[in-house]
Chain A
Amino acid sequence: MQRESAIREPLILGDKSYHDITEDVCAPVEGKANKYWYIVFSISVMVALWGVGCILYTIGRGIGTWGLNTTVAWAWDITNFVWWVGIGHAGTLISAVLLLFRQKWRMAINRSAEAMTIFAVIMAALFPGIHMGRIWMAYWVFPLPNQFGSLWVNFNSPLLWDVFAISTYFSVSLVFWYIGLIPDFATIRDRAVKPISKMAYSVLSFGWTGNAKAWIRFEEVSLVLAGLATPLVFSVHSIVSMDFATSVIPGWHTTIFPPYFVAGAIFSGFAMVQTLLLIARKVLSLESYITVQHAEYMNIVIVITGSMVGVAYLSELFISWYSGVEYEGYAFMNRATGPYWWAYWSMMTCNVVTPQLFWFKKIRRSFIASFVLSIFVNVGMWFERFVIIVTSLHRDYIPSSWSMFHPTFVDIGIFLGTIGIFFTLFLLFSRFFPVLALNELKSILKSSGENYKKQH
């Protein structure tokens, strides 16, 4: 039995027994959803449907329904793609990296964070698909044997690297998430009374018996997958950043991009986890498990990664001046003072300035402040990608081609739509899946549970 120092704050509050944990986590799955769930779910589904409508309109009519143009050939599509991929970083980081570092506090949040990762990556993967002029030819990006003779994909293209990076990341994350779910599904299965749900959870739990051998293998697989997933956390966003870094466009062609993007991804991912969990905590009555301690830990990650991002912004600015390259210098001057100055300063404020408030312990430990600031980060990180993509493209080398980008209702509809789909999936997850890793939580009850700590 592992012992934990008494001065460490408990991770499970209240007088909880193993059974209480099971009851608390299974309650949303077994009970009936409340009114709020239905309201939020209806709104999400409606927004999602609107988004699906916009996507179908795009596919039916052409990319011309978006606000893109000859000069700015990527805008909200790739902004949203990178934003969602970034959000999709937190889950794996929390479950894999923190597992390797034996951070026990991850157990309260890893399940939802991973779910969020999966859903965010699905949303992200949507955009490279629908932004294609001919989506019906999308399978050509895979190196499939084909009847076109020697036609093969272009391995030089960062977009192709994206295909591999995203699909690998998605499959590993999915497997990791699912492996973790198996014992918890088994718990629900064992408690299920209705035949259909019993059958469904039996299938989902893969015949989990819960014997010691199963647990040993479970632990081993988790560790192996954590080892596999950890480099992916760093590789995915590095590769996404290479879409820009390997190009010749001033503002894109930057060697700092891989680390800067990874830091940004973790930053935005934690912010999204924070946003979601602070809601889930209240709505699903998980106050005992998602504590102020958890919020604080996440805020610390946010302030650190946020500062890294800030340093990256400033380095970029400095290097653009120091390089003496005319185009590079202009690109960054234009970001800050050109027609899109408001996007740049929104980004700077939300990503660099406001997260610094987390240096104050009071703010760090306030749920309200954490929630508000996490929203700021989500907004700021969207603007970061918008700034990188649109303000670099709209005024590049040849001044005669300079232009502006104005989104259409389809652009906006698709972006909101993906948020709708994301929340729809997350809400379904919260109703049918155990939102906390209940079996793992039990492993720390006696070391980090509040009442157990008091007893010692």
Chain B
Amino acid sequence: MSNNKVYWRGTEELEKDPAFVKNADKEFSEELPIDKFLSNKDLDSTNTSRRDFLKFMGFGITAATLAACETPVVKSMPYVVKPDEVMPGIANYYASTHFDGYDYASILVKTREGRPIHIEGNKLSKTAQGGVSARVNSSILSLYNKRRFTGPMKEGQSMDWATMDGEIAGLLNNVKNSGGNVRFLSSTMISPSSMSLIGEFKTWMESANVPLDATEEAAPSSASVNHVMYDAVSSAAMIEANKNTHGIAAIPSYHFEKAKVIVSFGADFLINWINPIGFARDYANGRNPEGGMSKHYQFETVMSTTGSNADIRGAIKPSEQGAAVAMLGNAIAGMMGNGGSITASLVNDDNQVESKLKDAASKLVAAKGSGLVISDSNDPNVQAIVNGINEMLGNIGSTIDFSNTMNLRKGSDTEVAALIGEMNAGAVDLLFVMDADPAYTLPSAWGFSDAMAKVKNVVSFAEKPDATSQSAKYICPVHHFLESWNDANPFGNEVTFAQPTINPINNTRQWQDSVLTWMGSADTYYDVLKRRWDAEVTATDDPSVIFASKWNKVIQDGVGSMPMPEMAIVPVFNAEAVSSAASALSKPIDGWEVAFYVKAGIGIGSNADNPWLQELPDPVTKVVWDQYVAMNPADMMSDAFQLNTLMGEQQRAGMVRVTVNDASVELPVVSVPGQKRGTIGVALGYGKGYEGDRLIGENAFAMLPVTQGYIRYSAPATVEKIERRYNIASTQTQHTMMGRKILNETTFSEFKSEGREHWNPVEMLNDAYGNKVTMDKLDLWAEHDIDLGHRWGLSIDLSTCIGCGACVTACHSENNVPIVGKDEVNRTRSMSWIRIDRYYSSDADPEIHGGIDQDKDYQAMEIPSEYPEVGYMPVMCQHCNHAPCETVCPVAATTHSDEGYNQMTYNRCIGTRYCANNCPYKVRRFNWFNYIGDSKFADLNPSQDNLARMVLNPDVVVRSRGVMEKCSLCVQRVQAGKLDAKKAGTPVKDGSIQTACSSACPTNAIAFGDINDKGSNVRSQAMNDRAYHLLEEVGVKPNVWYQTKVRNSEHNADHTA
């Protein structure tokens, strides 16, 4: 049926309104005023002429054409659903743990928009105590390393995980069914969960196979699983000696803060030895001139960072270490009436070591129970005597704590040697290698690479290509630690956690997850961890945390503690072990020796491809981007070598060939005053990193000798000059202070007995009337209003600065400081905003000639002593209140802020460099090239790599070429801190804002804060007697103060006690 409904347009149609009907068929019911419009006179008077029409059309076409042109498209991926915790512009911090088998630190990872960009210390950790080292905070850049594996590989071919899992599970089943040996080889593993996972794996492998046929009897598997740990820099002898002398096969914890006298034989405990970050903080806490100050003796071969900080340093040959320890023991025993005497003597005592040892002995005896003697030797006999000395002095239990053992070094030289034996015998069917590069770090004497070739299947859990993964059949690449879950038990009952801070960048997998998958487990490692610690962990300082959220709490804090076994560990001293060690002590040898040491930046080489670390100047030599032979300048100038001791753009270093047994390396020689005469030092960890295409240095691990089963870090060597020269780049080419008051220092006894005017006089100048007045009375300029509002400043304690360089890399990370490479550093164009000046003392008398012949004095003062004292001085922009840079800039690109900054306006700068010339501190850095685009820096500067530039801090602009830059006192952090305080409605709390350098400093030597805040730490430091301004007499009124360095260096040269 058809629809006959009728619809009306309105009541008018329904009612057939005449007015409506009349117009009903028209499109527009009302009359349109077209005629009126067209007849409008004004229309003719408008001036849109034909020409205008053409113009508009022309413009329109042109505009449309131009708009159709391609503009650069920047692709970005917006969040479809924004995660709650990610707020653009607001940083998130995640607690995590860094341990790469060598360096341990509990850390906070700063992430911005999901990208980790900076690492700071976690103050809740008792092990690292909130400090970081250069190696730790630089590890963030390794996350974005383009050399990392992008996915699993078999024999060089990419593979997917499923196939890989199938193959390896098959291999494991073969071993499980038909018997065989599976071995894990790793560096020291401190993760309790990983250790138990390997334990579970072992049980799973070694347990009976579940027979397919139920009637068959279950056969126990003949498979054997074993986990071998080793350390690239081994402490195995210490563990052995501790077992022999005290019955505990572990490394005790050390309390440097409690030690009044510290005697270290070669142990570089401030940047390398066992737990350097925590030790450095303890050490600094024990060296407060205003409180008490420990006395630190160091007897070593190479001028180490720790040795350079020692109050009294004695240079010994590496083979003399045993003798030196024995002599110390003899002296102490003599003084305590124990009479023990080990026959020991030094080969060549050109540094008064014997008298220094006697002095140390007397101080140790005087401070019985609060001394500390340590050694880095990997000779169990030496370590046993050291233990004997500590026992004799009653240090065990006070400064040395066996009840809380350090787990950071657990490697065993004997076990790894045994494993290599097994491998050589063809007895290992499957070898898993993780957190280690044994083919690189093990001495070639052990022939690991050859042994590896005899293993049928090697699975490498490497993060990036290394010597081991190169010849491994399977590569199951692992996450960077910032992408991983993990736990760690560094010492005692402390447990710290690692959590991912970013989704995995590459197609990688934690080895724990791989092992779980191969075991057929449905769990992930995260599940394993969470289950374990939900039950076991005790949350740190908050007992109110309810059980269910314990896990969340410890992950948030990054730190918790684990239950300890009930029975207390009591060390039982075995004097017999010491005396037998004494009788077996090896004698010092004559002739050249090489000492192998570890550098602050490169470490054991695991991050040798990290440009921040390569460009970090070595604390002592200030050399970047190269490995070298460290030699005493007196030896270099001797007839045998006649080498150039100078450094600089056109001072090419001479080279030598160093031969140890059959292996030899050819390396440039760098003059290192303080290096024991007749010895050289060669750094480990090289031959791994690249500068562009250049492989840097040689692998010195391969040259390490093995004696009595222990890897030794020194060897007799032949050193011969070769006729080649090599460019070495150093950030500092003049090594002494030239008698100026730059790094002001005094001795502890003077500091205690004399007034300030004696050791830190206030700078006075004559005014126009000849009256002595202080610098603030002499002003050419009107004073800035410095007492109003904030006045940010720094105070740097030269007594506790150890020169490690953690602040330098932290600054690079925070402020996007470009990496410029060796050639540019060689041209004195390092871009670091903070540099650490290192000064050697000189024997020269500044006034021996005087007058017209004073040039002779000056020339003599340029030459450091043969065995100098060393001082470190971090220098950054001093933020002068009367800044010489500000007055000379023609375009006012650098100006003074109301808050005490000298601030740099990059986009106003035209680059005349006048400011840099007029800066007395030479802290301004010029962008000589376009570092983010110039081809010279393509393989150097991380900012030129699309992946690595993810590490850039979005709060800090990347500077363009031709502008000046310099330390900004981390103004972006201060602004953020002020905003936080403003939101909270409170004044800025002292300590709530930290600069990158002050937060990174492991010894708290750098204090940042508001000088106008009466209660601030920085103000109290800046006002104390040790404070002074660098170059105060220039009158620039800096906002950076330095605290006079105090050395506890008095010693009785001819001690007869």
Contacts and interface: CB of A to CB of B under 8 A. Distances in A.
Interface stretch (A198-206, A304-312, A332-340): A332-340
Interface string B701-745: 000000000000000000000000000000011101111101000
A340 to B, nearest CB: 13
Interface stretch (B26-34, B605-613, B928-936): B928-936
B888 interface: yes
Contacts of B824: 64
Contacts of B740: 326-327, 397, 399
B791 interface: no
A104 interface: no
Nearest to B837: A400
B866 to A, nearest CB: 19
Interface in A362-416: 393, 395-404, 406
Contact of B934 (A61, A70, A157, A334): A61
B635 to A, nearest CB: 24
Interface string A151-180: 111101111100100000000000000000
B838 interface: yes
A71 interface: yes
B273 to A, nearest CB: 28
Q: Is the interface of B mostly helix, strand, loop or mixed?
A: loop
Interface stretch (B56-64, B512-520, B911-919): B911-919
A253 B917 CA distance: 12
B961 A133 contact: yes
Contacts of B20: none
B908 A63 contact: no
Given A63-B911, A248-B1036, A160 B890 contact: yes
Contacts of A396: 920, 922
Interface in B827-860: 827-830, 835, 837-839, 854-855, 858-859
Nearest to B925: A70
Given A70-B926, A158-B888, A406 B650 contact: yes
A334 B887 contact: no
Contact of A248 (B875, B884, B891): B884
A62 B912 contact: no
Contacts of A249: 917-918, 920
Contacts of A141: 890-891, 910
Interface in A81-101: none
B592 interface: no
B890 A153 contact: yes
Contacts of A400: 732, 734, 742, 835, 837-839, 873, 875
B892 A132 contact: no
Interface in A113-145: 128, 131-135, 137-138, 140-141
A153 B892 contact: yes
A70 B854 CA distance: 28
B962 interface: yes
Highest count of chain A CB atoms <10 Å: which of B830, B891, B916: B891
A76 B399 CA distance: 60
A73 B884 CA distance: 15
B648 interface: yes
A197 interface: no
A71 B919 CA distance: 9
A128 B890 CA distance: 12
A114 B998 CA distance: 60
A255 to B, nearest CB: 14
A185 interface: no
B918 A159 contact: no
A71 B838 contact: no
Contact of B890 (A154, A330, A406): A154
A161 B740 CA distance: 34
Nearest to B781: A156
B929 A62 contact: yes
B471 interface: no
B910 A134 contact: yes
Interface string B890-923: 1110000000000000001111111011101110
Contacts of A133: 909-913, 926-927, 961-964
Given A64-B829, A157-B890, A248-B1036, A70 B929 contact: no
B195 interface: no
B471 to A, nearest CB: 42
Interface in A298-332: 326-327, 329-330
A399 B890 contact: no
Highest count of chain A CB atoms <10 Å: which of B739, B830, B914: B914
Nearest to B741: A326
Nearest to B888: A157
B889 interface: yes
A186 B650 CA distance: 59
Interface residues of B, number: 64
Contact of A134 (B736, B892, B911): B911
A74 B889 contact: no
A72 B839 CA distance: 21
Nearest to A339: B648
A64 B1034 CA distance: 30
B917 A132 contact: no
Interface residues of A, number: 58
Contacts of B854: 329, 333
Interface string B933-961: 01000000000000000000000000011
A69 interface: yes
A133 B824 CA distance: 17
B728 to A, nearest CB: 15
A68 B924 CA distance: 14
B1031 interface: yes
Highest count of chain B CB atoms <10 Å: which of A138, A153, A399: A399
Contacts of B873: 400
B920 A132 contact: no
A153 B875 contact: no
Nearest to A161: B890
B422 interface: no
Nearest to A403: B828
A397 B742 CA distance: 9
Contacts of B875: 398, 400
Contacts of A160: 890
A67 interface: yes
B360 to A, nearest CB: 31
A330 B858 contact: yes
Contact of B911 (A132, A337, A338, A393): A132
Contacts of B929: 61-62, 64
Nearest to A329: B854
A247 interface: yes
Nearest to A389: B917
Contacts of A327: 740
B349 interface: no
B732 A74 contact: no
A361 to B, nearest CB: 36
Interface in B866-891: 873, 875, 884, 887-891
B928 A63 contact: yes
Interface in B128-177: none
A74 B913 CA distance: 7
B649 interface: yes
B546 to A, nearest CB: 56
A455 B1031 CA distance: 74
Contacts of B739: 326
A153 B648 CA distance: 38
B284 to A, nearest CB: 23
Given A132-B912, A134-B961, A158-B888, 16 more contacts: A62-B927, A64-B829, A69-B828, A70-B829, A70-B926, A74-B913, A74-B914, A133-B909, A134-B910, A141-B891, A154-B887, A154-B890, A156-B888, A326-B740, A400-B837, A400-B839
19 contacts: A62-B929, A128-B912, A137-B910, A151-B908, A159-B888, A159-B914, A249-B917, A326-B739, A336-B855, A395-B734, A397-B1031, A398-B742, A398-B875, A399-B736, A399-B737, A399-B738, A403-B733, A406-B649, A406-B827
**What are the nearest 3 A-B pairs in CB distance?**
A133-B911, A133-B962, A64-B928
